[in-house]
């Protein structure tokens, strides 16, 4: 474990499982104190105790439903009241819906946009000024290889991740010379509870390929963030997948993705 002379604090959203939990573990191993945010308080408390015992770091468990528009300002107010400054913001919380847009539940699609786009943007805007004042900070936004292409049967999810990638790259450019950098982490399909929640376990995208484990994704995100890398795509096949749509006629790409997204028979 690398213990820093002046310990910094990383805030991780969606920390109760999957990539978020793996990132929290990785930052704790690096000697960072943690603020863990998700809906499930029991899971956060258990993870916080584990990280404190294992790595000797402080871990604050703050349960918030990030689909609630009121959550970002309430969360930041809570941090201010506790005197906690955030050095690293990890916007990991997110989820997907699966199926034809016209048939999907509208409330689910709007909650997806709130979590994947609006809350990510809101938290970034609220926490960025403190980083700029200190002239030190890092922001890791978890996007996806979905960001590089349109995604029939997951249209809103793919579009949300395109926003995250575009926003991250633009903001990273704006912040040059400020002491703050922004990184977009773009994993491909990863072994988490994500696919089950989206009800897409039977899609060819999941069934017909070996998918990456969360620890590999978290390690890539952590090391790339600390190097100041703007975009991280873990794994050679994922990098190829992200590049292919740029080489094909745009009219071909949606059907290509649709074929991969369809349920396997």
Catalytic residues: 157, 161
> 152 CB contacts (<8 Å, ≥6 apart)?
254, 255, 257, 258, 261
Taking phi first (over 0 means left), then psi (-120 to 50 degrees means alpha), and beta for anything else, what does residue 99 get? Answer: left
Packing angle, helices 214-227 and 18-29, rounded to 10: 50
Alpha carbons within 13 angstroms on the beta-carbon side of residue 122 total 20
End-to-end CA, the chain: 47
Judge whether 93 and 114 are in contact, CB under 8 Å. Answer: no
Q: Dihedral sign for Cα 8, 12, 16, 20, please.
A: negative
Tell me the CA distances in angstroms from 100 to 133, 151, 202, 257, 258, one per residue in order.
Answer: 45, 11, 15, 14, 11
For 243-262, give the secondary structure using H, E and C. HHHHHCCCCCHHHHHHHHHC
What is the signed CA dihedral for 13, 16, 19, 25, rounded to 10 degrees?
A: 90
**At 61, is the secondary structure helix, strand, or coil?**
strand
């Amino acid at each position: 474990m690398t213990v820093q002379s002046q310990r910094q604090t990383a805030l991780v959203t969606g920390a109760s499982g999957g990539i978020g939990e793996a990132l929290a573990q990785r930052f704790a191993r690096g000697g960072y104190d943690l603020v863990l945010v998700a809906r499930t308080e029991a899971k956060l408390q258990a993870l916080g105790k584990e990280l404190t015992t294992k790595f000797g770091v402080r871990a604050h468990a703050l349960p918030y439903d990030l689909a609630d528009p009121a959550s970002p300002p309430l969360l930041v107010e809570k941090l201010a009241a506790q005197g906690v400054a955030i050095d690293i913001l990890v916007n990991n919380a997110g989820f997907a819906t699966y199926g034809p847009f016209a048939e999907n539940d509208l409330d689910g699609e709007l909650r997806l946009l709130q979590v994947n786009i609006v809350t990510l943007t809101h938290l970034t805007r609220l926490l960025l000024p403190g980083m700029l004042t200190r002239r030190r900070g890092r922001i890791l936004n978890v996007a996806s290889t979905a960001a590089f292409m349109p995604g029939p049967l997951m249209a809103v999810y793919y579009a949300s991740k395109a926003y995250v990638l575009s926003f991250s790259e633009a903001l990273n450019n704006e912040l040059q010379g400020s002491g703050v950098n922004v990184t977009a982490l773009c994993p491909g399909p990863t072994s988490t509870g994500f696919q089950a929640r989206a009800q897409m376990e039977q899609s060819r995208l999941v069934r017909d390929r070996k998918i990456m484990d969360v620890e590999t994704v978290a390690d890539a995100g952590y090391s790339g963030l600390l190097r100041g890398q703007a975009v991280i795509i873990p794994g050679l096949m994922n990098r190829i997948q992200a590049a292919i749509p740029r080489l094909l006629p745009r009219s071909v790409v949606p059907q290509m993705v649709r074929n991969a997204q369809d349920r396997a028979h």
